[in-house]
Each structure stands twice: as structure tokens, then as C-alpha cells.
Amino acid sequence: MKINANRLQSHFEAMSLIGKIGVTGTCRPAHTALEKEGFELAAYWMQKAGMTTHIDNFGNLIGRLEGKNPDLPILMMGSHLDSQPYGGRFDGVAGVLCAIEVITTLSENGIKPERAIEVISFADEEGWRFNKGLFGSRGILGKLDEGELERTDKDGITRGQALKDFGCDILKFKESEYKLGSIFCFLELHIEQGPVLDIANKPIGVVSGISGPLWWTVKLKGMAGHTGSVPMPIRKDALVGAAEIIVAVNEIATQVPGAPTVGTVGTINVFPASRNIIPEEVTFTVDLRDIDLERRNRYEKQLRDRIDKITKKHHLSYEISEDTKSDPRYCADWIKEIIHEECVSLKLDAPELMSGPFHDALALSYACDYGMIFVRCKDGVSHNPLEYSSYEDLALGANVMLGTVVKILKQK
């Protein structure tokens, strides 16, 4: 039993037209008409595969294939269809479309599972629009933080309003939450988004775990003044302080050569943003990740100390808001073993590797066992229109996923 590689490719090609930018890029923001269009297309394919579909109150698209025993916890698969603002065609999409293809193949072969299977395209995995990701996958588990609906995008639209515009009822979140123990396990296929598989010339990898992400929003406050008249020694320049902190993030993250720690400042906003006014306020984001929790905690303290020292040096005040904080989460050994077995049966030498990026699997790991399959991407490029995985590799990944699902369905 194999998936239909030509059909899978046609689905990728059709989805890539929704939110297309340039020749190969994608911009499909969460909770927008473009994401809804992607949902409608994916839902059509889900229905053709025998699934019932709906969009829940968190903005997740859910396809369900009923099982023989409705009392058994479900097998859940999926990823996301929202993209980065300057993204590619495969990030997230691979996990949704390959899962749909697996269900289609099961249905075509007359396989009715003992337990129900759900395929989910989770809402706002990426997190760039409202500066907080994994919204839909955290939502179904009742793990949203206070104030999340009040977070605004660059146009001042709150998440709450965006969800209402999307057709969701934000007063009925409880109806869309999953009961404890209702999910048997979660399986996610994703492009690697890194160079390990490409360098090793291996099309498929088995994920060992996901690094723990720490996301901050940092706000520095100084004093505006005329750039031509305020002497340098008495300035309270918030941007100078921010520049030193940005360098500190890089120094802290790279202090152990070869370690998988990463630290990034990806956005920065300056007020009042005039060439002849000293910057009074600077807001920027910090992204610090590591598979080693003890090391990440140690680096977090170092960074807090550096921020305190740098702001005192420049006579600035500061605030640190914690947007996301998760421990590293490791894949279930029994699921990894099944994935390895399937790779061997397909004559694939699949190395085991960790994931630096987080995925919806990170949120689901707090509710059930999970496993992940990585597909090679060219030069490790992702979050970029140049992102590319071959359809041959994606088909291999889908076949590994198919075999894994068949074996998981035999588990009691």
C-alpha cells in the first residue's frame, strides 16, 4: 500500500497558489481570508478522503475519519497552513497535505480504523502576526494565556476581532477544547528547516525532540531630544541600548562552540523614528532556544543580567514581557521505533535529529505521546521563498507516515 505521489504533488501545487508572492513565495497570514481559502481547499480534499470537516472556535480546520470504536482516544495528525510573511510553499503545508494523503490512501484501500483519526490544520502556528504562536494547538488543550485575545497585529486588529471576522465564537472556546485523555497520540510530518539531512544526503529523518523556545518582548525607554543639540554624554538613547543588547544575545548564544543554542532578535520598532530625534523608546523581540533546559535557563539569567547592566549604563528603564516559554520536549520512544521500522522497510537510512524550530507537536506533547518525521529541504533554507523540498522526498515522507499510522492503529 502506497500513497499517490502524483496526487500529492498536485495538492502542493494547488495550495501554493493561495497567498502566492513572487515565483515561489507564500504569504498566508493566520485568521485571514487567504488562510480561509486554504482551509476550503484542504477541507474539500479531506471530504473526498471520507472525512467530515469543520472549523472550530480557535480557527483550526479539523477533518475527522470515524473509527469503529468511538470511545477510543483519537489518533491526531497535522500541522498548519498559515505561513510567514515572506515564507515558502512547504513549511506546515507538508504536514497537512501528507496527512490528508495518508487518510485518502487508507480510505481507498477500504481500511476503517478501530479508533477515529483527525487531521488538523492548526491556527496561527507561526506566531508572527500577534507575536505569539501555536495558538490553535494550545487552544484545544486549554493552554491559552491571559490577554491573548487583546494582542494586536501591525494594523491594530486584535486577535479576538480577527477570530470573529474568521467566523469563530470566542465565547465558546470551551466547546472546542479536547478532554484530557481523548488524544491517543500525535504525529506530525514537517520539512526539516535546517541543513542536517541535506548535508548528509538523507531524504528522511526521525525527530528525537524539540528545543524549548523562550520568546520575549523587550521595551526600553529613554528620552527624546534634538539630535543636533543634546550632548552625547547626557543622552538617554534607547536605540543604542537596544543595539548593545542585540549583540549580547548573539554573544550569549554562541559562547559554547558547537552547541545547538540559538538566539535571535527578529523585530525592532523605534519611536518616534525620526532621523533628527534621539530614539526615546525601542521595542524588540528575543528568541532563545535550546534542547538543554539547564543551559537555556543559565543563558536566560545571563541575558537578564546584561539587559540590566546595559540599561543602567545608558540611563534607560526597561520591561521584559514573556510571550512564550516551553521546556524541551522529547518524542515518545515507541513512536520513534515505529518510524525507524518504516524507514528500514522502505530502505531508507534515516538519522535521528532534534528540531530547533518549534511545531504544533510541542503543544501536543503536554497532552499525549508524539512523534515527528522530517523531510529534507534544500540547503536547509526555510521561512524564505527559496524554501524547497522535492516532491519525491515528500512522497517518501508520506509513505513513512502511512506505514507508521497503520502500525499505530494496531496499538491497544
Interval 248-263: pLDDT, tens: 999 999 999 999 999 9
Q: 94 is written with which cell numbers? A: 507538508
Going by pLDDT thresholds of 50, 70 and 90, the confidence category of residue 326 is confident
- CA–CA separation, 378 vs 12, rounded Å? 17
Going by pLDDT thresholds of 50, 70 and 90, the confidence category of residue 412 is confident
List, in order, residues 6 or more apart from 102 with CB less than 8 Å away. Answer: 3, 77, 398, 401, 402, 405
Q: Grid coordinates 521500522 are at which residue?
A: 341
pLDDT per residue over 156-203, tens digit each? Answer: 999 999 999 999 999 999 999 999 999 999 999 999 999 999 999 999
Amino acid at 103: I
The alpha carbon of 354 is separated from its chain's Cα centroid by a whole number of angstroms, namely: 15
* Bridge partners of residue 281, in order along the sequence: 221, 271
Q: Is the pLDDT of residue 50 over 80?
A: yes
- CA–CA separation, 236 vs 248, rounded Å? 19
- CA–CA separation, 104 vs 256, rounded Å? 47
pLDDT of residue 59: 98
The alpha carbon of 147 is separated from its chain's Cα centroid by a whole number of angstroms, namely: 21
* Bridge partners of residue 330, in order along the sequence: 209
pLDDT per residue over 355-389, tens digit each? Answer: 988 899 999 999 999 999 999 999 999 999 999 99
Average pLDDT along the chain = 97
Which DSSP string corresponds to 98-131? HHHHHHHHHHHTT---SS-EEEEE-TTSS-TTTT
Q: Is the pLDDT of residue 340 over 90?
A: yes
Rounded mean pLDDT, 198-225: 96
Strands (E), 276-409: 281-290, 317-325, 329-330, 352-355, 369-375
- CA–CA separation, 357 vs 316, rounded Å? 33
Strands (E), 11-148: 20-21, 25-26, 52-55, 61-65, 74-79, 117-121
Answer for the pair 316, 242: CB distance below 8 angstroms, yes or no: no
Rounded mean pLDDT, 393-397: 98
- CA–CA separation, 401 vs 395, rounded Å? 10
Nearest C-alpha neighbor of 328 from the set 207, 191, 213, 190: 213
pLDDT of residue 108: 98
pLDDT per residue over 131-152, tens digit each? Answer: 899 999 999 999 999 999 999 9
Rounded mean pLDDT, 9-28: 97
H or E stretch including 183? strand 183-191
Nearest C-alpha neighbor of 63 from the set 37, 45, 80, 81: 45
pLDDT of residue 114: 96
- CA–CA separation, 83 vs 317, rounded Å? 35
Query: Would residue 127 be called left, alpha or beta, if left means φ above 0 and alpha means ψ between -120 and 50 degrees?
Result: left
pLDDT per residue over 295-323, tens digit each? Answer: 999 999 999 999 999 999 999 999 999 99
31: exposed, middle or buried (Cβ count in 10 Å: 0-12, 13-18, 19+): buried
pLDDT of residue 241: 98
Answer for the pair 289, 213: CB distance below 8 angstroms, yes or no: yes
Rounded mean pLDDT, 239-255: 98
Answer for the pair 338, 201: CB distance below 8 angstroms, yes or no: no
Q: Is the pLDDT of residue 324 over 90?
A: no
* Bridge partners of residue 51, in order along the sequence: none
Angle at 317 between CA 287 and CA 229, to 5 degrees: 115
* Bridge partners of residue 373, in order along the sequence: 189, 206
**Does the global pTM surpass 0.85?**
yes
